[in-house]
Amino acid sequence: MILTPHLGEMSRLTGKTVGEIQLELIETARAYSQKMGVICAMKDARTVVASPDGNVYINTSGNAGMATGGSGDLLAGMIGALLAEGMEPYESACLGVYLHGRYGDMAKERYGARTMIASDLAKIIRETE
C-alpha cells in the first residue's frame, strides 16, 4: 500500500500537530511507514518517501503552485500507472513523486505558481508523453 498524505492528513493519521511533523519530517514518515507497513509519500515543500524497511527518499522537484486541489490525485495516478507497468512499489512512489514535481516545475514555467491549477499540470503531463 502506498499513501500520499499532505501534512494536514499526516497530522490526523499520527495525532501529531503539523508543527511537530514539520520539525521531524523524515522521522515521522519513516516511523509511520514502519509502524503501518506501508510506503508513505508525505507531501510538503520537499516530499519524503519512506518504506517499511527504513529507506527514505527526499524529493527536490516541485513547487508551491502544486499545493492545489487535484494535484495529489495526479500524483496517485502517476504512481498507480508506474505500478501497472510492473515497477516495484517503493521505486514507483519515488519516481512518481519526482516526475510529478518535475512536471509541476514545467507547469510553473508556463502558467506561474500563483495561478497554476491541477488541470495545468495534467496538460503538461499529456504533452510530454
Count CA atoms within 13 Å of residue 85 on its CB side: 12
Q: In the prediction, which pLDDT does 128 show?
A: 86
Q: Which residues pair with 40 in a beta bridge?
A: 3, 50
Q: Is the pLDDT confidence value at 9 over 90? A: yes
Q: How many CB atoms lie under 10 A from the CB of residue 66?
A: 27
Q: Where are the domains of the chain?
A: 1-58, 59-129
Model pTM score: 0.94
11, pLDDT greater than 90:
yes
- The overall average pLDDT reported for the chain is 96
CA 79 remoteness from chain centre: 9
